[in-house]
Amino acid sequence: DGLAYLDEVENRIRSRSGYKTDEKINFVGLDDYSGNVRSKGKTGADRIAVLFAEGSINDGEKSDDFEIASKDFVEEIRKVAKNDRIKAVVLRVNSPGGSALASEVILRELQLLRKKKPLIVSMGDVAASGGYYIACQADSIFALPNTITGSIGVFSMMFNAEKLMKNKLGITFDQVKNAPYADFPTATRAFTPDESAKMQAIVDTIYSTFKRRVAVGRRMSEVMVDSFAQGRVWSGTEALGLGLVDGLGNLDRAIASAAAKANLKDYRVVTFPEPNDRFESIMRRLKGTSVSEEVVKAAVQEQTGQEFELIREIKGLRNMNGKAMMAMPFRLNIQ
């Protein structure tokens, strides 16, 4: 529209905003503005909470920005449940899954939340395996047409480092135990046939639980669930045809559905977990970690670029060791 110096721009703002000459202008930063935007400009006391579940699902406390840590996430769910001003909840899921135990812990807390308030799920790019597990018992589920979902299945793995330790490092192991399974599972030797059978039985039991959770949440038989389960993935459009989701739509549609379910006309949207500023994010990363380690991590990320994600996934294999996992056993790269 024209050329102007900063002082001229400020004077124009003053003239249009009713400020006196030389009066200080109270500018609002983008972070402050976005944090106070109300849905459709409404200022009602009632709230709809959008609970973001993004990243792999892991046990315990959060150690990475792109992670759903069961302990921390349960605390967020309880905050939402206890807040009387929040009348409905939208769970925004963007997760390929992860720990079966963590997924069960989170689902249990969501079940308790749903007894108090309507719970609607909005799926992002991926809501598969454990990501679908935590979503399957919501009142309604909305996906995007190209959402990757499903992957109803369970697997487990255990690394055997016996030959590596013996042949490369000259280290061998001897066990003294007072029960047949006292050292089970272990990475220092191969499983016995009986131990392998027990591990498979654990996986089968958890898989049956997965199918049962989906059957209850989607109001269908376990036989029907098994017909499209077995670890297979589906697009959002395919999932709609199978009954895995209730409709196609973005986050706005899920929020509108939550408002209708709670009979809300005047409301505002709040997000959980609350976003951290840059300083808080840095301090959280440094918590329990040496500065030198963070510097090395940043340097490796800069040098490896996109391959850094593969390094993170390899590191994440440690979380899978000996655990039952509800996760996609492959990596999708859609271009």
Question: 68-71 long-range contacts, Cβ below 8 Å, gap at least 24?
Answer: 68/95, 68/98, 68/102, 68/106, 69/102, 70/99, 70/101, 70/102, 70/105, 70/106
Q: Which of these is catalytic: 129, 140, 151, 257?
A: 129
User: How far is residue 233's CA from residue 330's CA, in Å, rounded to a whole number?
Assistant: 11
User: If you count them, how many residues does the chain have?
Assistant: 335
- Burial grade of 308 (CB within 10 A; 0-12, 13-18, 19 or more): middle
Distance CA 289, CA 40 (A): 43
129 is known as an active-site residue: yes
Distance CA 33, CA 172 (A): 61
* CA 215 – CA 221 distance, rounded (Å): 6
What positions carry a catalytic annotation?
129
